[in-house]
C-alpha cells in the first residue's frame, strides 16, 4: 500500500473513532460502570443462583410497579426451576379467565402456561399510581437500552440522596447518576435488606442489583445459552470446513500459471 | 453455446428439448473467466447467496409474523421465544440484511476501483444500481415490520420526505400511508411490498448475470481478455474459490448471529412503537447513514426551493448519479492500478462516504453541520468534477498487453514458475 493510502486509512479510522465518541457538550448519560456478567462472553451462561435471587427481587420489589409481559411461568423451567416450583409460583397469582358456561368471566389461580401478571390493569391505572409516570415493561429492558445490563445496574445503584446544588429537582423526581437527564420518577427501589434472600445470601444493594439484572438479562434473551452453545459448535465446524476448502482451493489452483 | 452430448439418456432427452444442462455446462462450468481475479471478485457470488438466505429466512419468518399494529411487535417476540429456532431465523434475517449491504457495498467499490463500470459493461453497472435501489426499498420496509420505536419513527421521517414535493407532496404522503399517519394500512402494504421486492431483486440479479455473461468479467488489470490463454474455466477454479470465500463469509456472518446479534441494531427498536413518544435520536439503519447525512446537509433555502426539498433531491441524486458514471469517466484505462492519481482519490472518496456515514449517525448540530455539507459537496464533486478532469489530464501508466503476459512477466505466477524450474 502506498503511504498516502495508509494516511487515508488512518484518517478514516480517526473519523470513525470520533464518531463513536459523543460530541462534546451533548447531554448524554454519563459512563456506566462496566461489570463482569456471567452471561457475557462466548461461553456465557446465566448464573443459576443469581437468577433465582433475581426472580425473588423482581417479584418482591419491581413487580409491584413493572409488568414482565413476555415471560410465562413455564419459561422458568428453562433455567432449572422444577415443575412443582413453577406451579407453586404460578398459583400465587390470580388471572381472569372465561367466559364460563354462564358467560361470566371468573378469576382462577394462574397456571404454568400463563404469563406473569401485570400489576396494573392498564396504562392509566399505572400512571395514576406513579405520579403520572409509566413504569415500563421489563421483559426487553436489557435489550432496549444501550449497554443494557451495565446501564440497568448503574441505574439501580446510581441514586444520590442529595441532588447536586445546581440542579433544580422537579416535584416527585429522584436524582440518579446514570438516568438521562438525571431526574427519574422511580423512587430508589432497592436498598440494603430490601429482600431476605431464600438462599441466605447477604442482601446488599450491590447484590440485589446484580441479581435482578441477571434475571432481566435472561428475560430479555432467554435463548442466550442455547444460542452461544450452538454458536461455538457451528463456528468450530465452519472454521475446519473453511480450512479444508482452502486446502482444496490451493490444490486445484496449483496447476495454474 | 456448444452442443454437448450427454451420456445419461434422461438428461440427453431433456437437454434436446430444453437445453438447461447445456446452458449450465456453458455458464457455470466452461464459462471462461479471467485467470487473474483477486478475492474482491468473490463478493458478487456472495451477494447472490445472501439474497437466497434472506428469501429463505424471510419466508419462514413470514409464516409466523402478524402484520398488524397491535400484534406485530409481540409476534416478532413470539418468533424469538416460542418458535423452534425462531431466534436463529430472525437473527439470520436481521444480520443478513446488514451483511447484504456490506457485501454489496464492497462489490460496488470494487467496481469503482477497477473500472468495471466502463464500456462494455455500462448496462451491467446500471442494473447493479437498480438492484441497490430495490435493496434499499426492501430493507427500509422490512425494518418497519417489527414495529418498534425506530421502525415507526424511521418510517414516519422517511415517508414524510415526499411532503417536500411542491403542490402534490402532502397528497403523496397520505397516499403512501393509506391514511393520515403511519398506521395499520402502512404496515400492511409495507409487508406486502417487503415480500414482493426480493423477488424483483432476484429477477434483476438474473438480468445482471445475463449481462455479465455476455461481456464477461473485468479483472484487476482492467484489460480485455485476448484469448483462451488469459482465462480459466469457471469450474473448478472459481467455484472452489467462491466456496472458500463463502466459508470465510459465513464465519463472520454467523459470529454476529450467535455472539453479537444486536450489534447492528438500535436498542430503541426493542421498545414497541408509540406514536405519542418521539425517541431523542431517530437514526436509520447504518447502511443508510451516508444518504441520511446528505439529506440533512442542506440547512438553507435556495430561492423558492425549500432546504428540505433540496435535501431530498440530493439524496436521490447521490444514487442516481451512479447511473452516469460510465460516461463521466473518460480515462484511457479502466483499472486504478494504472491511474496513480485516481487510485488515491478513490480512497479519498471512500473516506468521504465513511465521514458521511458518521455525520448521518450524529444529531445535525454543531460541527457536524459544516462537516456534513463539505462531505456532501465532495461526494458530488468526485463524480462531476474530479472524475471528468482526471479522464482528461491524468498521466496513466501503460497496462500490460495481455493478462497472460502480466502473469508470466513478474506478475502472479512467477514464483510458481521459478519453483518449477
Ligand atoms: C432482499 C432481501 C431482503 C432484505 C434486504 C430484507 C431486510 C429486512 C430487514 C432489515 C428487516 C428488519 C429486521 C428486524 O429489525 O428484525 C426485515 C424483516 C422482515 N423480513 Fe425481510 N428482507 C429481505 C427479504 C425478505 C423476504 C423474501 C421475506 C419473506 C417473504 C422477508 C420477510 C421479513 C419479515 C417477516 C420481517 C419481520 C420480522 C423481523 O423483524 O424479524 N424478508 N427484513
Distance A44 CA to ligand 1 centre (A): 29
What pLDDT, on a 0 to 100 scale, did the predictor assign at position A89?
A: 96
Task: Kindly name the residue from B93, B194, B208, B241 that is annotated as catalytic.
Answer: B241
Beta carbons of B344 and A4 less than 8 Å apart: yes
What pLDDT, on a 0 to 100 scale, did the predictor assign at position A22?
A: 38
* Per-residue model confidence as pLDDT tens digits over A5-59: 444 444 444 444 444 433 333 345 567 888 999 999 999 999 999 999 999 999 9
Report d(CA B323, CA B292) in Å as an integer.
20
Report d(CA B127, CA B134) in Å as an integer.
11
What pLDDT, on a 0 to 100 scale, did the predictor assign at position B407?
A: 65
- As given in the structure block, the three cell numbers for residue A159 are 441514586
The answer to whether the beta carbons of residues A28 and A178 sit under 8 Å apart is: no
Tally of CB atoms within 10 A around A220: 21
Report d(CA B127, CA B111) in Å as an integer.
13
Atom of ligand 1 nearest to the CA of B269: 15
Atom of ligand 1 nearest to the CA of B265: 15
Distance A31 CA to ligand 1 centre (A): 34
Helices H, strands E: what count in chain B?
18, 2
B302: pLDDT strictly greater than 90? no
Q: Is B208 a catalytic residue?
A: no
Report d(CA B131, CA B315) in Å as an integer.
17
Contacts of B39 by beta carbon, 8 Å cutoff, 6+ apart? B241, B245
Beta carbons of B351 and A235 less than 8 Å apart: no
Rounding to the nearest 10 degrees, give the CA dihedral for residues B328, B333, B337, B343.
Answer: -30
> Cα–chain-centroid distance for residue B122?
17
| β-pairing verdict for A183-184 and A174-175 | antiparallel
- The residue whose CA has the least distance to atom 32 of ligand 1 is B58
Atom of ligand 1 nearest to the CA of B195: 30
Report d(CA B297, CA B148) in Å as an integer.
27
Average pLDDT over residues B287-302: 94
Task: Kindly name the residue from B15, B268, B285, B352 that is annotated as catalytic.
Answer: B285
Q: What is the DSSP-derived secondary structure letter of residue B175?
A: H
Q: Across the strands, what pairs with B193?
A: none
Maximum Cα interatomic distance, chain B, rounded to a whole number of Å: 77
Residue with cell string 456515514 = B357
Q: B-chain residues within 8 Å CB-CB of A140?
A: 77, 270-271
- As given in the structure block, the three cell numbers for residue A256 are 495454474
Report d(CA B403, CA B381) in Å as an integer.
33
Report d(CA A50, CA A216) in Å as an integer.
11
Contacts of A141 by beta carbon, 8 Å cutoff, 6+ apart? A148, A152, A216, A220
Contacts of B220 by beta carbon, 8 Å cutoff, 6+ apart? B36, B37, B38, B40, B114, B335, B337
Residues with CB under 6 A from ligand 1: B 51, 54-55, 58-59, 61-62, 65, 76, 90, 93-94, 97, 100, 135, 138-139, 142-143, 145-146, 194-195, 198, 201, 269
* Per-residue model confidence as pLDDT tens digits over B245-282: 999 999 999 999 999 999 999 999 999 999 999 998 89
Q: For all residues of chain B together, what is the average pLDDT?
A: 94
Q: Is B213 a catalytic residue?
A: yes
Average pLDDT over residues B156-175: 94
Average pLDDT over residues B47-57: 98
Domains and CATH numbers, chain A: 30-71+115-249 (1.10.760.10)
**Nearest residue, CB atoms, A12 vs list B241, B351, B417:** B351
Report d(CA B70, CA A142) in Å as an integer.
23
Rounding to the nearest 10 degrees, give the CA dihedral for residues A140, A141, A142, A147.
Answer: 130
Task: Kindly name the residue from B217, B318, B331, B404 that is annotated as catalytic.
Answer: B217
The answer to whether the beta carbons of residues A58 and A68 sit under 8 Å apart is: yes
* Per-residue model confidence as pLDDT tens digits over B212-226: 999 999 999 999 999
Q: Is B217 a catalytic residue?
A: yes
Amino acid at each position: 500500500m502506498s503511504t498516502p493510502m495508509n494516511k487515508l486509512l488512518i484518517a478514516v479510522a480517526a473519523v470513525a473513532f470520533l464518531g463513536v465518541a459523543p460530541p462534546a457538550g451533548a447531554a448524554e448519560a454519563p459512563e456506566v460502570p462496566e461489570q463482569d456478567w456471567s452471561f457475557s462472553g462466548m461461553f456465557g451462561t446465566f448464573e443459576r443462583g443469581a437468577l433465582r435471587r433475581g426472580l425473588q427481587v423482581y417479584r418482591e420489589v419491581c413487580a409491584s410497579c413493572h409488568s414482565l409481559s413476555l415471560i410465562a411461568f413455564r419459561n422458568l423451567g428453562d433455567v432449572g426451576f422444577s415443575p412443582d416450583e413453577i406451579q407453586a409460583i404460578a398459583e400465587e397469582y390470580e388471572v381472569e379467565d372465561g367466559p364460563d358456561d354462564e358467560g361470566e368471566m371468573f378469576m382462577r389461580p394462574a397456571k404454568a402456561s400463563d404469563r406473569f401478571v401485570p400489576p396494573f390493569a392498564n396504562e392509566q391505572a399505572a400512571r395514576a399510581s406513579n405520579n403520572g409516570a409509566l413504569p415500563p415493561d421489563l421483559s426487553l429492558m436489557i435489550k432496549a437500552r444501550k449497554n443494557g445490563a451495565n446501564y440497568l445496574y448503574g441505574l439501580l445503584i446510581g441514586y444520590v440522596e442529595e441532588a447536586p446544588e445546581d440542579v433544580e429537582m422537579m416535584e416527585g423526581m429522584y436524582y440518579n447518576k446514570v438516568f438521562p437527564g438525571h431526574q427519574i420518577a422511580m423512587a430508589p427501589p432497592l436498598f440494603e435488606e430490601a429482600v431476605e434472600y431464600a438462599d441466605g445470601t447477604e442482601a446488599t444493594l450491590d447484590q440485589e442489583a446484580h441479581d435482578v439484572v441477571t434475571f432481566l438479562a435472561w428475560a430479555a434473551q432467554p435463548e442466550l445459552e442455547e444460542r452461544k452453545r450452538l454458536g461455538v459448535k457451528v463456528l468450530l465446524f465452519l472454521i475446519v470446513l473453511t480450512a479444508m476448502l482452502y486446502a482444496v482451493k490451493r490444490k486445484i489452483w496449483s496447476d495454474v500459471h | 453455446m456448444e452442443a454437448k452430448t450427454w451420456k445419461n439418456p434422461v438428461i440427453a432427452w431433456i437437454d434436446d428439448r430444453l437445453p438447461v444442462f447445456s446452458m449450465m455446462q456453458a455458464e457455470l462450468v466452461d464459462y471462461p473467466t479471467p485467470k487473474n481475479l483477486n478475492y474482491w471478485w468473490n463478493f458478487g457470488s456472495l451477494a447472490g447467496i445472501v439474497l437466497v438466505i434472506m428469501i429463505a429466512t424471510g419466508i419462514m419468518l413470514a409464516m409466523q409474523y402478524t402484520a398488524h399494529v397491535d400484534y406485530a411487535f409481540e409476534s416478532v417476540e413470539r418468533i424469538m421465544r416460542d418458535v423452534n429456532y425462531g431466534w436463529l431465523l430472525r437473527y439470520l434475517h436481521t444480520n443478513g440484511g446488514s451483511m447484504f449491504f456490506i457485501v454489496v457495498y464492497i462489490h460496488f467499490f470494487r467496481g469503482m476501483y477497477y473500472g468495471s463500470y466502463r464500456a462494455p459493461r455500462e448496462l451491467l453497472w446500471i442494473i447493479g444500481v437498480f438492484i441497490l435501489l430495490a435493496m434499499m426499498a426492501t430493507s427500509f420496509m422490512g425494518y418497519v415490520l417489527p414495529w418498534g420505536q425506530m421502525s415507526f419513527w424511521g418510517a414516519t421521517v422517511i415517508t414524510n420526505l415526499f411532503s417536500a414535493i411542491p403542490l402534490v407532496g402532502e397528497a403523496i404522503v397520505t397516499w403512501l400511508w393509506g391514511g393520515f399517519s403511519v398506521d395499520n394500512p402502512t404496515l400492511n402494504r409495507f409487508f406486502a411490498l417487503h415480500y414482493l421486492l426480493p423477488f424483483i431483486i432476484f429477477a434483476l440479479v438474473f438480468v445482471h448475470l445475463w449481462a455479465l455473461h455476455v461481456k464477461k468479467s473485468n479483472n484487476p488489470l482492467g484489460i480485455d481478455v485476448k484469448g483462451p490463454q488469459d482465462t480459466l474455466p469457471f469450474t473448478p477454479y472459481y467455484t472452489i474459490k467462491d466456496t472458500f470465500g463463502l466459508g470465510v463469509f459465513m464465519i463472520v456472518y454467523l459470529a454476529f448471529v450467535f455472539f453479537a446479534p444486536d450489534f447492528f441494531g438500535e436498542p430503541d427498536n426493542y421498545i414497541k412503537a408509540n406514536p405519542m413518544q418521539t425517541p431523542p435520536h431517530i437514526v436509520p439503519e447504518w447502511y443508510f447513514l451516508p444518504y441520511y447525512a446528505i439529506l440533512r446537509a442542506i440547512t438553507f433555502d435556495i430561492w423558492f426551493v425549500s432546504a428540505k426539498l433540496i435535501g431530498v433531491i440530493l439524496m436521490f441524486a447521490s444514487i442516481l448519479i451512479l447511473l452516469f458514471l460510465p460516461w463521466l469517466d473518460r480515462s484511457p484505462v479502466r483499472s486504478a492500478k494504472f491511474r496513480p492519481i485516481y487510485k488515491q482519490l478513490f480512497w479519498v472518496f471512500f473516506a468521504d462516504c465513511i465521514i458521511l456515514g458518521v455525520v448521518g449517525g450524529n444529531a445535525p448540530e454543531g460541527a457536524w453541520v459544516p462537516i456534513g455539507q463539505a462531505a456532501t459537496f465532495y461526494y458530488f464533486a468526485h463524480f462531476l468534477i474530479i472524475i471528468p478532469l482526471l479522464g482528461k489530464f491524468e498521466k496513466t501508466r501503460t497496462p500490460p498487453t495481455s493478462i497472460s503476459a502480466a502473469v508470466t512477466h513478474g506478475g502472479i505466477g512467477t514464483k510458481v514458475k521459478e519453483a518449477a524450474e
